[in-house]
Amino acid sequence: MFKLVLNVFEKATTQHYQLLLDADPSKKAVDSYLARGICIEAKKSGSGVLVGCGSPSFNAS
């Protein structure tokens, strides 16, 4: 079993930015994700980093 640590970040590091560009090579799109989304990094002990950004949603039901 491994430990996965999730962290929300507001300022992207160079590594975050490069990982997002690997997923979507459009700098304009990545900048938009970072500006309007909630960004999370997932770190696994002794391994790399996974980064994702998504728009917050609200459900008032």
Residue spans per domain, the chain: 4-53
The answer on pLDDT for 59 being more than 70 is no
- Tens digits of residue pLDDT in 12-46: 999 999 999 999 999 999 999 899 888 999 888 76
Q: Does residue 61 surpass a pLDDT of 60?
A: no
Check residue 48 and give its pLDDT: 77
pLDDT, position 44: 84
Nearest Cα residue to 39 out of 4, 7, 5, 14: 7
The angle at the Cα of 36, spanning 32 to 37, to the nearest 5 degrees, equals 105
The whole-number pLDDT of residue 27 equals: 95
Whole-model pTM over 0.95: no
